[in-house]
Structure 1
Amino acid sequence: MSLKIAIAGSSGRMGRMLIEAVADSTDCQLAVALDRAGSPALGLDATAFLGKESGVLITDDISTLANADVLIDFTRPEGTLAHLAVCRKHGVNIVIGTTGMSEADKAVITAAATDIGVVYAQNMSVGVNLVFKLLEVAARSLATGYDIEILEMHHRMKVDAPSGTALRMGEVVAEAQGRQLKDVAVYDREGITGERAPSTIGFATLRGGDVVGDHTVIFAGMGERVEVSHKASSRLIYSAGSLRAARFLSDKKNGLFDMQDVLGLR
């Protein structure tokens, strides 16, 4: 039996890639295509941009989520949380790739996972999640005598900074060294800042053009520098990882998971 997938943000770049990935799969079917109220795409067939018909019309009626097995959501925090509430009500699992979540938002996600299966990851790429594992090793090995800086660049339309992936990289490094990112992160430097505090983790953010996503974690020591990087050239990596996460949830009744769980990297 095919896994019935709902896609949020269906007329956006990520939404369309997710729809195309579902359409090309042999074990998933598109059940619901959501978009924001007032979107010019409302009422259109969800796969019209591919030159074919799915029979699923794009809608802003979030109650239709009850017709799906799992929702994949890469929208905005406020939209994702509204969708999450409906999924929780109807027992629909959810894959969340939305970035910019506050601590309060994350608490809502954690609470919902007591009733439904949730994969929440700030990056759905298989490669990025492998990098997270590599960063654990590097952070433990380079815990003394190395300054840590995280550099990320994304397209000009990205609305949050630093990226969710960069923040997760910082969390992975800090946790591997027995620290909390909130206690050591430095997000702004301007003017006379004084010498760099050795215990901090610095962030630098670049925005421009159509960059899908570049991330580099730099461990800078005296006489050497170790860099762990990931560069994305297509959003297809996120749609492929998202479907993998949706399949992972197919036999889950509840629980909060991330891509490390999906990929068996725990």
Structure 2
Amino acid sequence: MTSIGIYGSLGRMGTAIRDILTVQGVRLAGGADAGDDPAELARAADALVDFSTASALGVHLAAARDAGTPIVIGTTGLTPADHAAIDEAARDIAVLQTGNTSLGVVLLARLVREAATRLGPDWDIEIVEAHHRHKLDAPSGTALMLGEAAAAGRGVALGDVRVADRAGLSGARAEGTIGFASLRGGSIVGDHNVILVTEGERIELAHYAQDRAIFARGAVRAALWLAGQPAGRYTMDAVLGL
């Protein structure tokens, strides 16, 4: 039986993953949090999931790489340097990095990319996301994931067209930009709405998370799938065969 180890096991997602492992009868290899030895967990597990913090990613990647253990990274707020470290680790182990492990969000991203591909540049794209008051990063990793999908559909780099804050801006909306708006409050698990609008009509593609368990189920499915893969960098699309 494949065993799964959890980095950030005492956090919201770590706790949810523990619960899903129990329900599905998947063996828990253990957990590692601040002050624990990440290398020990990496050696004990057949696959790892990391929902800790971006600042701990380098240590966790190194431990997984040394042990030859595949790792699913769901931690958000990653920097270009973090992504470079993931690319480096993926030379030796299987690494799946994603801004969201919900299977519904994975399909939403595919729909967003398709819509952006089919619709012309006169269709404006805005992404609105809402999360609980304790969310650390904005825009959310999922919002950026959807933005990347929209940009890919248009054949551009998100960094070249992204507008994350319109405060203080004046003038008309620049054609081809992809806008982001972030809302924070209460206990919202995660709402994401991609709005495509042109003169006289509007399309809205949305996903509303009502229970953190959806992310935990997706993370466990991804870890079980990743355990049998060769070294390389993967996405949730591969888990679903997209």
Q: Distance in 2 between matches of 1:88 and 1:192?
A: 45
Which residue of 1 is the match for residue 38 of structure 2? Answer: 62
1:29-57: CA deviations, max 9, x gaps? Answer: 111211112xxxxxxxxxxxxxxxxxxxx
Map of 2:23 onto structure 1: 24
Superimposed CA distance per residue, residues 55-100 of structure 1 (whole angstroms, 9 cap, x where no aligned partner)? xxxxx12121211111111111121221111000110110110001
Question: 2:70 corresponds to which residue?
Answer: 93
Greater Rg over alpha carbons, structure? 1
Distance between the aligned counterparts of 1:74 and 1:166, measured in 2?
17
Shift of 1:192: 4.9
**Superposition map of 1:114-263 within 5 A:** 114-263=91-240
Gaps of 5+ in 1: 38-59
Q: Which has the higher contact order (CA 8 A, sep 6+)?
A: 2
Partners of 1:192 and 1:144 lie apart in 2 by 21
Q: CA RMSD in A?
A: 1.0
Matching residue of 1:15 = 14
Once the two structures are TM-superposed, the CA of residue 193 in structure 1 deviates from its matched residue by 1.4
Mapped partners of 1:199, 1:144: distance in 2 = 6
Q: Distance in 1 between matches of 2:96 and 2:81?
A: 17
How far apart, in 1, do the equivalents of 2:48 and 2:170 lie? 45
Instruction: Using the TM superposition, give the Cα deviation of residue 11 of structure 1 relative to its aligned residue in structure 2, in angstroms.
Output: 1.4
Structure 2 residues without counterparts, runs of 5 or longer: none
Q: How far 1:8 moved relative to its partner?
A: 1.3
Which residue of 1 is the match for residue 33 of structure 2? 35
CA distance in 2, matches of 1:205, 1:175: 22
Amino acid at match of 1:6: G
For the Cα contact (< 8 Å) 2:3–2:45, is it kept in 1?
Answer: yes
Q: Do the aligned partners of 2:39 and 2:67 also contact (CA within 8 Å) in 1? A: no
Shift of 1:202: 0.7
- Alpha-carbon distance in structure 2 between the residues aligned to 1:191 and 1:66: 51
Quote the Cα distance in structure 2 between the aligned partners of 1:162 and 1:192.
18
| Cα distance in structure 1, aligned partners of 2:27 and 2:194 | 38
- Percent of residue pairs bearing the same amino acid type: 47
Figure out how many residues of one structure are paired with residues of the other and give that number: 241
After TM superposition, what 4+ stretches of structure 1 lie above 2 angstroms from structure 2? none
Alignment partners' CA distance in 1, 2:66 and 2:212: 31
